[in-house]
Structure 1
Amino acid sequence: MTAETTDQDLTTQIGATLPYLRRYARALTGDQTSGDTYAAATLEAILSDRDILDGGMAVKPALFKVLHSIWQSSKSDAVGPRDGLEGAAQRHMAKLTDNTREALLLHTIEEFPFTDVAAIMGIDQDEAEELVSIAHREMADSIAGRVLIIEDEPVIAMDIENLVADLGHRITGIARTRAEAVEKGAADKPDLILADIRLADNSSGIDAVNDLLTQFGELPVIFITAYPERLLTGDRPEPAFLISKPYTEDQVRSAVSQAMFFSTTATLKV
């Protein structure tokens, strides 16, 4: 953030960054409520002391740096023992090298270059790159499962199928509509759902996911959309894992690995 940044400019930039700050916090905690608590704590810290923002950084990475500092000071409490899928996620996380998930999310999902990742985390660039490499190895080796893809664009569906299969997961099916998704899900229960928002017959990928979660209970879900800000408003339950179109290979790999660790995803009502 430069010295010339006015209060109005700062407010505008914080507002534009907030949806992605919330996405990062939610992916860290695996829960919308917990993630939003961290995002709110970040904003409260800035309101209390504007000087907390690193004056040598642009506003977006500076905000993430504040959140990261808050997360580091309290993350052991944020990821305490839980039951069900989140409890299983915690047991997997206990085996991971410290700070690897943070570096992976910052670089792949939030698309910060390694220079920014290093600055946000307070480490050098070589360490940031090494943490991401470790994260890829450790998370890929930890869990594999069955994945249902809900995507109406054949080329995109094939690309996602190849990426997910390369991670060691089995594809249970590719659905182009809500009805087809429910049918394929019922035929072969997935461990993970990867869904587009708008489907071939103008049906909703969100509705398809809600149908499947009603049938099966908690399952990890990753949504893909060209308009992520529409699902990052805070006005209703949101997905813990959200990929923006156009996506990168690393984003898909990272989100799949992360979702298998933090498995709860609230249903969405539109």
Structure 2
Amino acid sequence: MLRIDSIAKRNMPQRVRSPGQPLRVLVLEHDDAVSDALSVLVADLGHAVCGVARTEIEAAELAQRERPDLALTDVRFGGGDGIATARRLNLDHGLRSIYLSGNSDHGTMARITETYPLGVVHKPFSHAQLKIALDLAARRLR
């Protein structure tokens, strides 16, 4: 049986990236201090933040307009459900996520896995952990 996720992926245009090309990252984080810190960290790692969304509506608008390569998605995005937001961004815009999560319980991880994530970085995380996740994501998106 084909899942709707698989059908949507086949119908979405694929982004083509050159090796070594900086990623265009959409940050999905409702906390201003955290989103600012993430933006600086992503830039320090040689990538570009093309937008910061604090709500699902903003995330969809930015995904449509900016065409980012990936989203850094807080599992508790907007104080709600970042996993559901990531699923919709994937279905509607072909945008995949690296999740930032303070939760590593089985239920949360199972839901994350169903969205075909590019990675998961557990909070609190280090500069090196985010670098590895972004490097792996860049390879997966080639």
Residue pair 2:29, 2:74 contacting (<8 A) in 1 also? yes
Structure 1 residue 160 and structure 2 residue 43: aligned? Answer: no
Give the SS at the match of 2:129: helix
> Please, what TM-score do these two structures have when normalized by structure 2?
0.75
Residue pair 1:221, 1:263 contacting (<8 A) in 2 also? no
Pick from 90, 93, 98: which aligns with 1:213?
Answer: 90
Q: Distance in 1 between matches of 2:65 and 2:112?
A: 34
Structure 1 residue 229 and structure 2 residue 105: aligned? Answer: yes
Residue pair 1:220, 1:263 contacting (<8 A) in 2 also? no
Report the aligned-residue RMSD.
2.8
List gaps (5 residues or longer) in structure 2. Answer: 1-12
Counterpart position of 2:10:
none
- After superposition, what is the alpha-carbon deviation per residue over 1:178-221, rounded to whole angstroms, capped at 9, x for unaligned? 12211221221101111001123x3321222222212222x442
Point out the structure with max Rg over C-alpha.
1
Tell which has more relative contact order, 1 or 2 (C-alpha 8 A, sep 6+).
Answer: 2
Pick from 173, 192, 195: which aligns with 2:51?
Answer: 173
Counterpart position of 1:64:
none
Give the SS at the match of 1:242: strand
Q: Which moved more, 1:234-243 or 1:189-198?
A: 234-243
**Bigger proportion of residues as strand:** 2
Q: 1:198 to 1:183 in 2, by over 3 A?
A: same
Counterpart position of 1:190:
68
Q: 1:205 to 1:232 in 2, by over 3 A?
A: closer
Residue pair 2:30, 2:55 contacting (<8 A) in 1 also? yes
- After superposition, what is the alpha-carbon deviation per residue over 1:24-78, rounded to whole angstroms, capped at 9, x for unaligned? xxxxxxxxxxxxxxxxxxxxxxxxxxxxxxxxxxxxxxxxxxxxxxxxxxxxxxx
The sequence identity of aligned pairs, in percent, is 28
Counterpart position of 1:144:
22
Q: 1:234 to 1:164 in 2, by over 3 A?
A: closer
> Please, what TM-score do these two structures have when normalized by structure 1?
0.42
Q: Distance in 1 between matches of 2:34 and 2:23?
A: 21
Give the SS at the match of 1:228: coil
Q: Distance in 2 between matches of 1:243 and 1:258?
A: 12
Give the SS at the match of 2:49: strand
Aligned residues: 127
**Bigger proportion of residues as helix:** 1
List gaps (5 residues or longer) in structure 1. Answer: 1-83, 93-141, 265-270
Q: Distance in 2 between matches of 1:235 and 1:143?
A: 27
Q: Distance in 2 between matches of 1:170 and 1:181?
A: 16
